[in-house]
Amino acid sequence: MIGICNSDRRNFLLYQQLKHTADCILLEDGKPVHIDLDILILPVSGIRNDKTMMMKGMRIPIADEFIQMVKRDGLIICGNVTDLLVTYDRKILDISQMESYTLGNSRLTAEGVLYLLLDNTQKGLFDLKVDLIGFGASGKAIYNMLRLLGVRVRVIRRHLEDAKDNFVTVEDYQRLKPFDVIINTSLTNIIDEDMIRKMDENLIINLVGDADINEVLLRTRQVRIVHAGPLPALLSPLSAANLLMKTLQEVLYD
C-alpha cells in the first residue's frame, strides 16, 4: 500500500495516475489512518524538525503515529531529509539526490521563472538585467535558459572556479548595485538590509521558502517581491507529477 500526501496538485495528480496500477491512498492531513503503508510519499519539502509539513500552502502539525504508519521495512520518499525524519528509523529516499529527478525538476523550475519574469516585469526579456543568486541545480537551469533567450544575467556565488565576466563572488556583489531583477535560489541570506538599501523599484523572485528578507525595508524602497514557492507544483503540476511518477518507477523497478 502506498500513501500519498495530498500536499499540492503535483502529488494529487501523482495519486490519480498511480491509483490505476497500484494500491494507494490519498492522505489529506497529518493524522494517521489505520493502514500499514509500504511506501509513504511526503511533500517534496518533507517534514520539518518542528513536526510540521506543508499541505496545500499551509504548515500543519503531524503526529508521530503518522510516520509510524510506514512498516519497519517500508520506505519514505521526499526531497528533504531532516534530523527529525531520521529518528523514525525507516528507510528514506531523498529524491533530491537522484540526478534524473533533480535535472527534471530544475528544468521545470526554470520554466516557472520565465513565466514569472513575463508576468511581473514591464520590460521585454531582451531589456532585462538579472542577478541570479546561487548556482545549484536550479540556478544552472535558470542561467542556461535565460542565456539562450538573450537575457543579460549576472551570477552571484560564494566561490568561483574560474574567471567569467558575468560571474561575481558574494563579497564583490555586496559592493555593487543590484540589477533590475534579482532571482534568489540561495539558502544563505545574501539579500541583507545593506543590499536592499541599494535597490530602487527592483523585483525579487525568491525561490527559497525560509529566506529571511526584510520586507518592511523592501516596501520603503518600493521593491516588489514574489515568493514563488515550489514552481513545478504551482505552474506545471502535470509535468511535475509525471516526473515524480518516473522517479518512483525508477526506484521500484530498477
Residue 244 lies in a domain: no
Residues 108 and 199 in one domain: yes
CA–CA distance from 183 to each of 13, 137, 179, 247 (Å)?
Answer: 28, 14, 10, 28
Q: Model pTM? A: 0.89
Residues 92 and 128 in one domain: no
Residues 105 and 226 in one domain: yes
CATH number at residue 120: 3.40.50.720
Residue 21 lies in a domain: yes
∠ CA 100-118-172 to the nearest 5 degrees? 75
Taking only the tens of pLDDT, the chain with its 254 residues reads 999 999 999 999 999 999 999 999 999 988 888 899 999 999 999 999 999 999 988 899 998 999 999 999 999 999 999 999 999 999 999 999 999 999 999 999 999 999 999 999 999 999 999 999 999 999 999 999 999 999 999 999 988 876 678 999 999 999 999 999 999 999 888 999 999 999 999 999 999 877 789 999 999 999 999 999 889 999 999 999 999 999 988 887 76
What's the domain count of the chain? 2
The last residue of a domain, from among 97, 126, 154: 97
DSSP secondary structure string, the chain? -EEEE--SHHHHHHHHHHTTTS-EEEE-SS---S--EEEEE--TT---TTSEEEETTEEEE--HHHHTTEEEEEEEEES---HHHHTT--EEEEGGG-HHHHHHHHHHHHHHHHHHHHHH-SS-GGG-EEEEE--SHHHHHHHHHHHHTT-EEEEEES--SS--TTEEEHHHHTTS---SEEEE--SS--S-HHHHTT-SS-EEEE--TT----HHHHHHTT-EEEE---HHHHH-HHHHHHHHHHHHHHHHH-
Residues 108 and 227 in one domain: yes
Residue 253 lies in a domain: no
* Boundaries of domain holding 39: 2-97
Residue 11 lies in a domain: yes
